[in-house]
Amino acid sequence: MTDATHGTAEPAEPRRRKASLYASDAHTRRRNAAEKRFRAYGIAAIAIGLFFLLVLLVTIVRNGTPAFTQTFVTIEVALPADKLDKSGNRDIEEMKKVSTFGYAPLVDDALAEALAQAGIETPFANAKDLRQIVSASVAAQVRDAVLADPALVGTSHEFRLLAASRVDGYMKGRVTRESVARDKNISAEHLDIVDQMIAAGLVERRFNPGFVFGADASESRPESAGIGVSMLGSFFMMLVVLALALPIGVAASIYLEEFATQNRFTDLIEVNISNLAAVPSIVFGILGLAVFIQFAHLPSSAPIVGGLVLTLMTLPTIIISTRASLKAVPPSIREAALGVGASKMQTVFHHVLPLAMPGILTGTIIGLAQALGETAPLLLIGMVGFIASNAPASFADGFLAPNSAMPAQIYEWAKRADPAYYERAWGGIIILLVFLMVMNIIAIILRRRFERRW
Amino acid sequence: MSPLWLLILILVLAIAGFAIGRTRAMASVDDHRKLHSRPNYYGTNVAMLAFAPAALLLAVWVVAQPIVINASVSHLIPETSYEDAGALNLIMSDVKRVAEGLDVAVAQGALSAEEARSIRTEFTDVRARLGEVGVALGANVDRDVLRAAQAYRARAATGTWFMTAAVLIVALAGFFFAIREARGDFRARNRVENGILTLLITAASIAILTTLGIVLSLLFNTIEFFRLYPALDFFTRLEWAPSFSGRGGASALGILPLLWGTFYISIVALLVATPIGLFAAIYLSEYASKRVRAFAKPLLEVLAGIPTIVYGLFALLTVGPLLVSVFGNGGLLGVDWMGGGRAVMTAGITMGVMLIPFVSSLSDDIINAVPQAMRDGSYGLGATQSETVRQVVLPAALPGIVGAVLLAASRAIGETMIVVLGAGAAARMSLNPFEAMTTVTAKIVSQLTGDSDFASPEALVAFALGITLFVVTLGLNVLALYIVRKYREQYE
Amino acid sequence: MKDNMEGRKLVDQMDVKFQTRDVQVYYGDTHAIKDVNVDILDKTVTAFIGPSGCGKSTFLRSLNRMNDTIPIARVEGKILLDGEDIYDPKVDPVQLRAKVGMVFQKPNPFPKSIYDNIAYGPRIHGLARNKAELDDIVEHSLRRGALWDEVKDRLQEPGTGLSGGQQQRLCIARAVATEPEVLLMDEPCSALDPIATAQVEELIDELKQNFSVVIVTHSMQQAARVSQKTAFFHLGNLVEYGDTDQIFTNPVDPRTESYITGRIG
């Protein structure tokens, strides 16, 4: 310890501060200020993160809720027999020959009549010019009603007709008189009429079930577009994912966790699973396009293809969470079962698996929620750009017939030029998020209820 | 017999086998406690042997038959009538369509089976005849195609006949073999368990198959692309301008502008996500009380659970217009830096918000793994909490945090929806963050969703982009996971 | 009591560093330290001994307010350092810990170079005006830590690469570098092998020339070897405090005697 004795020879006293503990020196004050600043940065970071979340949610709710209501025009439409059923015998086949072009003038006249009754003056000489107030789909709506109930012919019936998207936009503040100045779809005069119709109670905004349950519509009729059919597309995709990913994921996890010995093959699987979890989702889309559509000739845009792609994407998530739940079952359970003479397979299937089930289900639901919101791979297998206008005719069609899916539908709407579709895209997001929230809440409840502490 | 019916048939055989096997095993002993395994195992053994090999054969056959027939029938098309593999593919799909049309016609009775085999284009307008039964064809059927279609039908019919026979023989063989085994001293449980184990291993192998599928589908199409377009140009050209005419050679398909856009947007995203995420993680792990932590951490993680389409829409409709109203013409700052809502900044900032929880959650775990003794050592010397964090905890956690940021970077590079909606479509190599640029992922989408022919370089380039993306993200991930694992080992 | 009389006599003769009066420490609902009164002298090695869980480490950690980092811990009573109450609201624990350094049970070098490990304290407290002064402090501290000759050629290598004994001496040197007045050591040798233990004990003996050293130890032999004063703790109480020789040869309290002779512990 020569160096220690050498060390004590040096004078240490001058550097030692003999100041009182009660007085804090300038240096310490500076350090404490730095401490406060640092802490403030942390709080600021969290506040910014939460602020972004809040902004995101407020934006979604504010922009999306209007999509759930729609403007309707309620008028009495006369359905003269001489125009709709010339033969007079109410033969459906005969009546089908009258196309929507035959019905459109009836609606025009009904509108003019309703305005006259309410004492609203119109600057338009021709009743046909009033047509721009209602949706282009109303003639079809009236026709469908008549064909469903031929007895209506010859009577007057009150219809609640969809208003045109511009009128709806006017009601929601999206369309103003300035903005329609160069719009050929509607004019300021129409808006004046609408104002008076509101006063007369002919026009009102109300909840629109068509948005939640209906089908997508063409580019020019945002007012009648709905997300219902693509919701079915998502539903069938999720069925495929659930039916494939859960059993395959659980089987793979059981093998890796309970049976596999450490060797090259198992290592290869492990490496593959952890890497697949990080592969960008778009790459799975390329895989789906090349393997399922080009190679296996499955129908493009079909939910079954989407489901297969999402299955491959979700598998790593499910395998990782299932393995964690299997690992959480204590070895004593296995030993107890093996000890009474059960085979390894019986031990796993009779004891370990049931105990791990809540955890497995939680992981599966979270994986499904991820898959439900995934968009990018669907773009490549043709589920975007397909206008989901018809609900699948049968259960098999649900898997095989071309369809869209909720996130793909939202993307499709976001791409369309009419701002009325943006509102629908936000509205679609609300529905999508509600689904995700419900799934996550179920997962949390499952975890809380059945979580076992060993 | 169609594959579906065949499948049902062997399924029925399996169910019957289960019952018979079980009964036979029970009957083979006077007291069923003398059986080696529980009775159900004997039944399952029969069902398994009757079903599994036959079903496997069926699956292989269904996949292989069209490929084999396709290859043999395509020889019937004279080589003079097509230029390359792409054109042959088109002809072959015509052949298949005509063959299917003939099937439909026979099924509806519009043609007799004999007619379908022998009609000639010289004597019959095949297109019109098929049109009558609802099979629309794009063009008149030429002689070679019809002949090929008839050959296709004939071979398919023969193939299906052989398949039915082979599958049934295999199923019955398995069935009778297992029935003979169903005696008391047979170890049925072991056999069944080995079968289940095989099933488990197969399930686990799907991960390998998926990777293989990704790599092969990317690789083959990329090789095809490089046959049509020089690889050197793809990797070094500074221009991205695909021609819209389809098969023209005028396209410039250089990946560099796309890589630059990807890189630039990811950098902006990381510049947003890293400081916020890191400081949030520090606060949550070092300062926050239990209650604040229990409340703030899950809320931040909600940001990671929101689907990317939502962020895409947010970028397009909210962030973009907001940025334009600040940096655009007549904006708050009075500068005219930004022409439109779609820009590097728009996509980058939105992506940054999405990545905050990635950085914060991972960093939080990593900071928590720094041993308390390290902090005590620093406090014991009179360091303040922030000095301890900055000079002791963070340097100790640095490798792990670098890993976390790399993982976030790999996410950013692979992200698609935000850039498709928020970044724009123009491939540009510029330094101005307020300009629209595009990325590798956005171009994969646009090249594969357009109208261009799949065999054209304009579509195939997407696979070359895909493989680049795959390699880059995989490399980043492997590196990040390696760093994180090394870091964890250090403190375990 | 006889030892208290002797203690008072000593107080007159030598500097008292710490005076504690009726100190209570609580961990949540647990009353971990009860009514501890003790005077700790300057330039002396004081050993805290007692069976595990007796509260000696807890009490040690309350002397430089390390217990502040544990949210549920609470200290009552008075602890005076040079006559000033260290739990007074005016006192900044950061300044206190600069005066009362601490060495821990397991060597905990920072994941930095040897040089940076030593320079850490002087840097945060601003003890050096320039690089040369900092170099001086580092060398001086490493010499005091009896480590200089072993590491002088590799100051830039990571401190975590040293052997266990070297790491612990590095931690002692690191604590010495901030020029504390008291050094608290919490079982500094429990993770070391006998040779390293001997080196550290030798070092502690050197250190008492400049510092007041308080050491918690499990080993009675170690207490007997290095300390001049010994305090025996049992179930949160200070049972007996006095000269080490007296405690080990002629304990007053029967509990002390049982512990010394190995009947409780």
In which band, very low, low, confident or very high, does the pLDDT at A177 lie, cut at 50, 70 and 90?
A: confident
Whose tokens are 């999509």? That residue is A67
Select from A52, A280, A369 the Cβ nearest to the Cβ of B473: A280
Under DSSP, the state recorded for A24 is P
pLDDT of the residue at B139: 67
Q: What's the confidence (pLDDT) of residue A278?
A: 86
Q: Is residue C265 very low, low, confident or very high in pLDDT (cuts 50, 70, 90)?
A: low
- Chain B contact for C72, CB < 8 A? no
pLDDT of residue B138: 65
pLDDT of residue B39: 84
How far, in Å, CA of C114 to CA of C150, rounded? 11
Domains of chain B are: 3-186 (no CATH), 252-490 (1.10.3720.10)
In three state form, how does the secondary structure of chain B look? CCHHHHHHHHHHHHHHHHHHHHHHHHHCCCCHHHCCCCHHHHHHHHHHHHHHHHHHHHHHHHHHHHHHHHHHHHHHCCHHHCCCHHHHHHHHHHHHHHHHHHHHHHHHCCCCHHHHHHCCCCCCCHHHHHHHCCCCCCCCCCHHHHHHHHHHHHHHHHHHHHHHHHHHHHHHHHHHHHHHHCCCCCCHHHHHHHHHHHHHHHHHHHHHHHHHHHHHHHHHHHHHHHHHCCHHHHHHCCCEECCCCCCCCCCEECCHHHHHHHHHHHHHHHHHHHHHHHHHHHHHHHHCCHHHHHHHHHHHHHHHHCCHHHHHHHHHHHHHHHHHHHHECCCCCCCCCECCCCCHHHHHHHHHHHHHHHHHHHHHHHHHCCCHHHHHHHHHCCCCHHHHHHHHHHHHHHHHHHHHHHHHHHHHHHCCHHHHHHCCCCCCCCCCCCCCCCCHHHHHHHHHHCCCCCCCHHHHHHHHHHHHHHHHHHHHHHHHHHHHHHHHHHCC
Q: Do A56 and B214 touch (CB under 8 A)?
A: no
Q: Are strands C73-81 and B240-241 parallel, antiparallel or unpaired?
A: unpaired
Per-residue pLDDT of chain B (492 residues; tens, 9 = 90+): 688 889 999 999 999 999 998 888 888 888 877 888 888 888 899 999 999 999 999 989 888 888 888 888 877 777 777 766 667 777 777 787 788 778 877 777 777 777 777 777 666 777 777 777 766 676 677 777 888 888 888 888 888 899 999 999 999 999 999 888 888 788 888 889 999 999 999 999 988 899 999 999 999 999 989 988 888 888 988 888 887 655 555 778 889 999 999 999 999 999 999 999 999 999 999 999 889 999 999 999 999 999 999 999 999 999 999 999 888 877 788 787 887 888 999 999 999 999 999 999 999 988 998 888 899 999 999 899 999 999 999 988 988 899 999 999 999 999 999 999 998 888 888 888 888 899 999 999 988 886 667 778 888 899 999 999 999 999 998 898 888 888 777 766
C96 near B CB under 8 A:
yes
- pLDDT for B451 equals 66
pLDDT in tens, A316-365: 999 999 999 999 899 989 999 999 888 899 999 999 999 999 889 999 99
- Residue A121 confidence (pLDDT): 80
Lowest average pLDDT, out of A66-70, A87-91, B298-302, goes to A87-91
pLDDT at position A2 is 40
Q: What is the pLDDT of residue A243?
A: 94
Mean pLDDT of A179-205: 85
Interface of B with A in 406-465 (CB under 8 A): 407, 410, 413-417, 420-421, 441, 444-445, 448-449, 454, 462-463
Res A111: pLDDT = 87
Say if the Cβ atoms of A3 and C148 lie within 8 Å. yes
The widest CA-to-CA distance across chain B, in whole angstroms, is: 103
Higher per-residue confidence, B378 vs A293 = B378
Most distant CA atoms of chain A, gap in Å: 125
Lowest mean pLDDT among A62-71, A125-134, B394-403: A125-134
Count of C-beta atoms within a 10 Å radius of residue C216: 25
At A15 the pLDDT is 46
Q: What domains are defined for chain C?
A: 2-260 (3.40.50.300)
Q: Kindly tell me if the per-residue pLDDT of A390 is higher than 90.
A: no
Of B264 and A130, which is predicted with more confidence? B264
In this predicted structure, the answer to whether residue A11 has a pLDDT above a threshold of 50 is no
Please name which of A17, B379, B380, A13 lies closest in space to residue C101, comparing C-alpha atoms.
B380
> What is the pLDDT confidence band of residue A411, given thresholds at 50, 70 and 90?
very high
Identify the residue with better confidence: A395 or B312.
B312
| Helix-then-strand count for chain C, H and E | 11, 10
Q: How far is CA A2 from the centre of its chain?
A: 76
Confidence (pLDDT) at C264: 63
The chain-wide mean pLDDT, for chain A, equals 86
| Choice between B107 and C245, residue whose per-residue pLDDT is larger | C245
What is the average per-residue pLDDT within A208-232? 87
Is B45 touching A (CB cutoff 8 A)? no
C22 touches chain A (CB under 8 A): no
Per-residue pLDDT tens for C61-113? Answer: 999 898 888 888 889 999 999 888 999 888 888 889 988 999 998 899 988 89
Q: What is the pLDDT of residue C5?
A: 45
Q: What's the pLDDT at C54?
A: 85
Domains (ranges, CATH) in chain A? 68-207 (no CATH), 228-450 (1.10.3720.10)
ipTM of the complex: 0.89
Rounded average pLDDT over C163-173: 91
> Above pLDDT 70, what percent of chain A?
95
Tell me whether A4 touches chain C (CB under 8 Å): yes
List the single residue in C95, C101, C109 with the smallest CB-CB distance to B380: C101
Say if the Cβ atoms of B477 and A280 lie within 8 Å. Answer: no
pLDDT computed for residue A9 by the predictor: 40
Which is nearest to B285 in space by CA: B390, B374, B371, B368? Answer: B368
C-alpha B5/C-alpha C210 separation (Å) is 96
Contact C97 B382 (CB under 8 A): yes
Question: What number is the average pLDDT over the span A93-106?
Answer: 83
pLDDT at C9 over 90: no
What mean pLDDT is predicted for residues A54-76?
92
Residues of chain B with C-beta less than 8 angstroms from the C-beta of C99: 382
Could you tell me the pLDDT band of residue A189, with boundaries at 50, 70 and 90? confident
Pairing of strands C73-81, C229-234: unpaired
Written as six digits, the tokens of B155 are 């071979």
Mean pLDDT of all residues in A198-210: 88
Residues 357-376 of B with CB under 8 A from A: 357, 360
According to DSSP, residue A348 is labeled I
**Chain A residues whose beta carbon lies within 8 Å of the beta carbon of residue B323:** none
Residue C3 confidence class, pLDDT cut points 50, 70, 90: very low
